[in-house]
Structure 1
Amino acid sequence: MRNALNSRALSRALRNPAALRNPNIRARVAAGAAMAGWYYGRTGSGWWQHSNGGYGWVGPLFWPFAYFDIYDYAIWGSGFGAPFWGYGYDDIYAGMFAPYAYDDLAGYLPPRAAAPGPPNAAPGRLAQMCGDDSRDIVGLPIDLIQQAIEPTETQRTALDELASASATAAQRIKAACPTQILLTAPSRLAFMQQRIEAMIAAVATVQPPLEKFYSLLNDEQKARLNALAEDQRRSTIARKSNRPLVQSCDVTQPTALTWPTEEIEARLHPTDAQRGSLAALQNASAKAADMLRTSCRADEAVTPAARLAAVGKRLDTMLQAVKLVRSSFDDFYATLSDEQKAQFEAIGPRRAASSD
C-alpha cells in the first residue's frame, strides 16, 4: 500500500498544481490511491467508484480534492461540475459498508509510534488529497482572470479579497482531514458529517466576496470571464481521458449498492428488537437516497455566485441526509454485541473481495 501511494506517477501528479486543476487527472489520482495495494496489486475499479472514474472514499478519507471540486464548478461552470455532483447516497452507503478492511487501511496513515519518514511518505499523499491551503495549489487562477477581464483598481481589490477568502476556505477543508483509521461505520459517518460541515463553512466564506467581485464587473467583463470558462472546458476535454465527465447525480443505484439484508441476517442473527432498529435504518437510508436524488441540479446556474449557491444548497442536503442515516445507524449499532459489530464491519470488505 505504501509503495503504491509513493509511486512516481502519483507523486508527480500531486506536485503539479496545473495537472490537479484538471478533473480527469484528479479522478485518476483518486482512483490510483483508492485501489493502492488492493488485493495484491489488483487493477480495475471498485464498486464504490464514481461515474467519472474518481472515488468518494479513498481509504479513510471522504471526498478527496473537495476544494477543487467546489471552485471548479463555481468558477468554470458545467464542464467542470461532474466531480462535485457525482457525490450522493452511494457515498453514504460506502460509509456504512466500507470496502476497506483494517489491513487495507493500515497503509494510509502512519503507525502511532512510527519514526518520521521521508517527505514524500504515503500519509503526505493522503493529506494532499484531503486539502491544501497553499495558494499555489488551491488559489483561484488570479492571473488568468486578471488577463481576461483587465480589472479596475476597485475590481482588483475585490479579486484580492476573493483570493484571500479562497485560501481561508481551503484551510477549513484541510482541517477536516482524518488523523486516525476509521474502523467502524459510526466513525465513518461521523467523519462524513464533519467533512461536509467544513465544506459548507468554506462555501459560506467564499460566497460574499465572490458575489461582490462579480457584481463589480460590467457586461463585457462578464462575457470575457464566461469565454475564459469555455476555454478551460475545451482545454480539459481535449486532454486524454479514460472516462468522460458525467454530469448528473441522479443515477440508477447499481446492484452492488442494494441493501445486504440476507447477509446481515445470516451474519448477525439479529433479535426481534434489532430487526426493528434495522428496519428503521433501512427506511432512513431510503429517505436519504430520495432526498439526494430530488436535490440534483435541474438547470445550469448562470453566474459563478449562483453556482456556488447551488453547491451550498446541495451540501446542505447531503448534511441532512448523513445526519438522518447516522442517527438511525447509531441507534441500530448500539443494540449490537461486540461479535455482531465485528460481523457487520466485515460485510463491506467481504463484498469487495467477492466482486474482485
Structure 2
Amino acid sequence: MSTDTILQLEQRLIEEAQPFAVATVIRAGPPTSTWVGAQALIDSEGALHGWIGGGCSRAIVIQAALAAIRSGQAKRIRISNEPATQDADVELHTMPCASNGTIELFIQPTVPAPLVLVLGSTPTALEACVLAQRMGLRVCAAANVSAPFAALGLTRVIQGFDADALGQIKPQLILVATQGDCDEDALEAALRTSAAAVLLVASERKADKLRDTMRLRGIAQERMAALHAPAGPHIHAHTPQEIALGAVAGLVTQWRELELAAADAGAPRITGDDAVPSVPPCESMASVEPAVARYVNPVCGMPVDIASAKHVVDCGGQRVYFCCDGCKIEFEHSPDKYLAIAQGRREREKT
C-alpha cells in the first residue's frame, strides 16, 4: 500500500469517525525486512494496511496499536533481543523471530472526538452547536422544531425527545438547553441514554426541582450522578451567546476529564461504538493455548492460523507452519532440532 493510499484511508476513517493508529518505523537494525520511514495503518479491528516488517513484528505492532487506540496515547515500541537500558518512554518487546533484527516504531493513534447531543432549539442551544463544533466535537441535535438547525452543518437532527431515538445515536455527552421548552421530557430522555455526562443549562434552583422530578419519573440515583447542573463554570453570563460559551466550556471539561480518567485506568476512551477489542500482551503469545485450527510455530513459539498460513514446509511426514519467512528459513537449516521441539510440545499437551 502506497503512502498516498494510506493517507486516503486515514481521511476516510476520519470522515467516518472511526479510530485508527499509524505506525512508523523510526529505527531498523539488520537483518530486517523493513526500513526507516515505512508506515502502516492499523484499524480498530486489528487489520494492518501497509508494511512495517514480517509476520512476527506485525503481530506485536498490531497489539501495541490497539492498546494505543484504547488509551488514546501515542507510544514508542522496540522489538529486539539486544540488551537495552530500560527507558520509560519506550515499550520493549522480545523479537520472536530467529533473525534477531531490531525494529523501533512510533505509534500515533487517532480517536474520534466524543459525539455531543444538544437538546433544544433555543438561541443558547443553537450557539452551543456552533461553538462545540469549533472545539472539534462531533455534534447532533434533538428538538421539537428542527428548522433552525438547517444551516449549522450538524451530522443529524432528531425531531422530538424520544429516549429510544436518542439512545440509538449513542451520544457520549448531552447538553440540555431547552430552557423552558419541555425541560422535563428532554432531561428524562437524556438520562435514559448511556451518555457519560448530561449537562443542564439551568439555575441551581431550577436544577434541584428538575432532579426531584426525575426521581419521581423513576430515574435511578446512580444515573442521576451523570447530571451536571449548572452546565459549565460560572462566568456571569447574560446573553444566549455567553450562556452557550459557559455550557460548551462544561462540555470540554467533561470530555477531557473522561479522557484523562480512561488513560489513567487503561480503559477505552469515550468513543461510543468505536470500542477496540482487548488483546493479550505480546510477551504472553507463546503461552496462549492454540485453538483447533492453529499450530504453534516450533521456531519462535507463536500460534499460526493454519487456514491462512503463507509459510509451510512438508517435512518428516508432517506439515509445519510458520508465522514468517525468517522462521521457515531457520527451520530448514535445522529441521531435526525443530521437529523435536514440536514433538516435545505435543507430548506435553497430552499429559
Instruction: Output the TM-score relative to the length of structure 2.
Output: 0.26
Which has a greater percent of helix? 1
- Which structure has the larger Rg? 2
Structure having greater relative contact order (Cα 8 Å, sep ≥ 6): 1
Q: Quick check: which one's strand share is greater? A: 2
